[in-house]
Structure 1
C-alpha cells in the first residue's frame, strides 16, 4: 500500500464516518490526524491501516480555510496550489471537505 502525505483516509464506525489526514510517512510509521479534531493524532503502520478497515478517500490534500491560527506562529508549509482550486477529478475544491465514498456496511451485510 503506497501512502503519501496529504492523503485522506476514512473509517466507518458505529453511526458515523471519521476521516483522517496523513501528516507524516516514514519507512514503517504513518502519522494520522483526525480532520474534525486536529489535536487527535496517532501513529500506525500501512499494514495495520488497511487491515483495520481504513479506506483512502482522497489523494488531494484537504486544506481547512477556517482553521484557527496558532498562538505561536511557525513557518508553515504553504500549499502548492490555491485552496480554492477546483479539482474536477475529485469534484471539489481543496478547501471543501471530501464526501465519504463508503458503502453502507450495515446494509451490505444483510
Structure 2
C-alpha cells in the first residue's frame, strides 16, 4: 500500500463520531478523505491559521517527502501540533524538537 494511503488509513481510525475535521489540501489529505468517506459528513474547506488557532488538537498527516522541507509559508508552529502521522520514523534531528507534547505516529511499521 502506498505511504499516503497507509497514513490516511491510520488517521481515519483516529476519527470518532461527532468529531469536527478541518482538512487542508494535498494528496495525503485526499487519501484521508477517501478513507473516511461514507462514515463522515464531509464539507470541503481550506486550512487557515485561524482554524488552527481555534482548534483543540492539530493532527498533521504527511509522508516523509514533506518532513524537513521549508515551504513557501508556515502553516502551523510545531508547538501547536498534537500528533504527526507519517510513513517514516521521526528524523533524529527532530526528536529533541518534538518534546513530550507531540506524538509521532508511524504508519505501516
Q: Which range, TM-score by smaller chain?
A: under 0.3
Q: Structure 1 or 2: larger helix share?
A: 2
Q: Taking CA–CA contacts closer than 8 Å with sequence separation of 6 or more, which of the two structures ends up with the larger relative contact order?
A: 2
- Normalising by structure 1, report the TM-score: 0.27
- The structure number with the bigger radius of gyration is 1
- Normalising by structure 2, report the TM-score: 0.27
